[in-house]
Amino acid sequence: MTIRPILRFPDERLRTRCAAVTRFDAALAALAADLAETMRAAPGIGITAAHIGELVRLTVIEVDGPASTRIYVNPQIDWFSTETRRHTEGSVSMPGVTEEIERPARIRLSYQSLSGEHQTEEADGLLSVCLQHEIDQLDGIFWIDRLSRLKRERVVKKFRKLQP
């Protein structure tokens, strides 16, 4: 396991739609392990392969620490509730800034495991928020794209002030 460099906003790769994973092998498992280590070091609770410049549909999420590690390959949202919730979000690619985003409260998704097995899952609460955030990233939608223009400009300005 290796801690990998994280791309920083405004790197264009963060707005690139990721390709589907087609090879379920030791290299994919190693990439997932690297993502988990990189996410913990950031620190964060979710990360995608895109955050480290690997443009494939892979995300690792830990909403309750390392014992709760979840790996999703080729995830996609199949259903979302009409009920919404607001939650504070940020990104390992834009550390130091956060903003509230409104998203569906519950989702159902389909994905594959590291071995390629097809699975479905329903999520609510923080896991739902995290999955939606990371799947957006895999689709080339950076989290600030979900903000109004005014809030987005304010977040970007604040982030730029934090840079050395």
Q: Which two tokens stand for residue 8?
A: 């920083």
The DSSP result for 100-117, as a single string, is EEEEESEEEEEEE-TT--
Peptide bond into 43 cis (omega under 30): yes
89, 102, 134, 153: which one is catalytic? 134
How far apart are alpha carbons 35 and 59 in whole angstroms?
A: 8
3 state SS of 141: coil
Overall size of the chain counted in residues: 164
Residue 134 a catalytic site member: yes
Residue with tokens 């895109």: 50
Residue 134 CA neighbour count, 13 Å, CB half? 33
Positions annotated as catalytic residues are 134
